[in-house]
Amino acid sequence: MESRKGLIRFLSDTEEKQFLSNISIDCVVLGFHDGHLKVLLLRFTETDLYALPGGFVRQEESLDEAAYRILAERTGLQNIYLRQFHTFGDPARRNDATHRQIMAVRGLALPDSHWLFERFISVGYYALVDFSEVHPKPDDFSDAADWYELEALPPLVFDHNQIVDKALSALRLSLEYAPVGVNLLPEVFTMADLQQLYETILGTRLLRTNFQRKMLSLNLLERVDKKRTGKAHKAPYLYRFVTRTFPDGADSSSGFLD
Amino acid sequence: MESRKGLIRFLSDTEEKQFLSNISIDCVVLGFHDGHLKVLLLRFTETDLYALPGGFVRQEESLDEAAYRILAERTGLQNIYLRQFHTFGDPARRNDATHRQIMAVRGLALPDSHWLFERFISVGYYALVDFSEVHPKPDDFSDAADWYELEALPPLVFDHNQIVDKALSALRLSLEYAPVGVNLLPEVFTMADLQQLYETILGTRLLRTNFQRKMLSLNLLERVDKKRTGKAHKAPYLYRFVTRTFPDGADSSSGFLD
DNA sequence: TCAAAAGTGTTACTAATACACCCATGT
DNA sequence: ACATGGGTGTATTAGTAACACTTTTGA
């Protein structure tokens, strides 16, 4: 979308309806860095309003396709593990003042009847990304796309803080039966990295020695090589997931349980 | 809704919009009887079209409220354990021919532009009910509301068979950390009843003796009294769940994990 | 008193936990 | 050589699985 012109076209409701009414998608993009889970937030241009990257569903695309497109359009991220986790439908979850503020900054005064002020149901997706590989870029609505620590998020617009909470719950649950590390860690990593990730997601401490055995017993990891860290101790092995699962385009119908 | 007149009002789109656009709700109502999981299906009047009880979301109600209202309106069921499990958004999930057939029977020829022929996202809820206590009644769209065995469902309209499959998956998962028996069994039941329920949901056989110990060790069950069955064997104890959990109105924000 | 189903006990095995010990490396 | 963190071994405990045994009931 090329800046202001694109913005206006996006918002027009005189031309043929391009989006489904009353439905939005919000993505909780999670990364892992420095022992912390991070969430990707957009800041709306010239405001102090932070939001999850979200958007609307085109007439011809599925929810999953929409989620991928929205994430790409709004952050530049592509080929990412995305999973639908919950749909948020509180009638009071949005407030118009926020939208007006966002638009006012761009010099756009929308009429009260504009579709943007209707009620929206939002389908929540969470995304897991390799923090080190990803370089989000803000779109025309935003002047910043940055990572924030999950434990210390700023207040977000609408019910986005709740959406993040729910996403984390879903992630914790999935940790029990899916190798989420594949998506949150670089191609190769140390056992300590993996353990730190698990501890962060679960919010508990784990015993180093037993964690190692447990992980290796799952036959998901393959030992690669020794790392020379230049640190004054034994260099750890590097590992890689053997099942390069969830490459992309994971249809939600092949969800958790199938 | 009182028969044809209500039907016409329901379908009118000239008066102020009563429902959110492009959004529907479908409920997979599960009961347990005779060692089988049953699904409640509606048959549309004078057709052989079977469907899950579903409907649309009013402007002012939340998704959860809508699900409860829809279930009550379409089947008479109230005060039921309902849980959102997935949102279905394939653009091809509906087909208009089905809708036209349903309407044609009632002598209603809707214009192509009617909102019923737009694309719909459907939020799936599953409900767990005590089969013995529940007496579903069909509404004005349907001439039958009956139970069908989960393993032998007739072909359903749209993607409703897939919705049922996904509901079952979600139920299986929840069995691991929630006492779903509370909702699917009568107030009191025998250990054999409970075991049969678990075996049916999980699709596996369990060892009677170990199942009993496991269940009792969870401290969820309270022994009530002996049943005099008149059978030629020891009468089983009756049990009751001590935590009468999930009475009703369970907000989805207090979902699985909170 | 016998068959059928409910309930308890016992043992073997497997997995989770906790911690002791050994290994490699750069200062 | 030793401090530091990585990796393995092992004892203890808890949990599962399998099956033998006892109890209650009506025919």
Of B190, B195, B223, B189, nearest to B207 by C-alpha is B195
**In a shared domain, residues A100 and A207:** no
At residue A189 the predicted structure's pLDDT band, cuts being 50, 70 and 90, is very high
Look-up of token digits 């049990």: B239
Q: Which residue has the higher pLDDT, B12 or A61?
A: A61
Distance between CA atoms of residues A183 and A187, nearest Å:
9
Name the domain count of chain B. 2
**In a shared domain, residues B114 and B221:** no
3-class DSSP string for B160-191: HHHHHHHHHHHHHHHHCCCCCHHHHCCCCECH
Does B219 reside within a domain? yes
- Residue type at position A186: P
**In a shared domain, residues B68 and B85:** yes
Show residues of chain B in contact with A87, CB under 8 Å. 63, 84, 87, 123
Question: Separation of CA A239 and C1' C23 in angstroms?
Answer: 19
Q: Which pLDDT belongs to residue B155? A: 96
Distance between CA atoms of residues A256 and B172, nearest Å:
11
Lookup: tokens for A9: 């076209």
Contact by Cβ (8 Å): B159, B90: yes
Does B166 reside within a domain? yes
A202 Cβ within 7 A of any nucleic strand C atom: no
Distance between CA atoms of residues B161 and B84, nearest Å:
17
When pLDDT is averaged across residues A176-201 and rounded to a whole number, the result is: 90
Indicate whether A252 pLDDT > 60.
no
pTM: 0.89
Lookup: tokens for A199: 């501890």
**In a shared domain, residues B171 and B185:** no
B41 Rama class: left (phi>0) / alpha (psi -120 to 50) / beta: beta
Cα dist. A41→A130, A140, A142, A155 in Å? 16, 14, 10, 11
A44 beta partners: A142
- 3-state DSSP call for residue A79? coil
Does A77 reside within a domain? yes
Partner-chain contact A89 B172, CB within 8 Å: no
Does A257 reside within a domain? no
Distance between CA atoms of residues B55 and B93, nearest Å:
15
**In a shared domain, residues B70 and B187:** no
Partner-chain contact B91 A59, CB within 8 Å: yes
Question: Separation of CA A245 and C1' C21 in angstroms?
Answer: 37
Q: Which pLDDT belongs to residue A209? A: 93
**In a shared domain, residues A142 and A188:** no
Partner-chain contact A89 B64, CB within 8 Å: yes
The contact set of B with A (CB < 8 A) is 20-23, 57, 59-64, 66, 84, 86-91, 119, 121, 123, 162, 166, 169-170, 172-173, 252-253, 255-258
**In a shared domain, residues A193 and A94:** no
- Encode pLDDT of A68-102 as tens digits: 999 999 999 999 999 999 999 999 998 888 888 88
**In a shared domain, residues A22 and A69:** yes
Lookup: tokens for A36: 């912390």
**In a shared domain, residues A48 and A152:** yes
Instruction: Compute the 3-state secondary structure of chain A and give helix, strand, coil in percent, each to the nearest 5.
Output: 35, 25, 40
Of A257, A102, A94, A256, nearest to A163 by C-alpha is A94
Q: Which residue has the higher pLDDT, A99 or A148?
A: A148
Interface probe, candidates A24, A61, A62, chain B, greatest B C-beta count within 10 A: A62
Does A250 reside within a domain? no
Cα dist. A107→A45, A100, A218 in Å? 12, 10, 56
Structural domain span for residue A117: 3-177
**In a shared domain, residues B122 and B159:** yes
Domain containing residue A58: CATH number: 3.90.79.10
Does A237 reside within a domain? yes
Indicate whether B115 pLDDT > 90.
no
**In a shared domain, residues B173 and B187:** no
Residue B225 Cα, gap to closest chain A Cα (Å)? 38
Does B253 reside within a domain? no
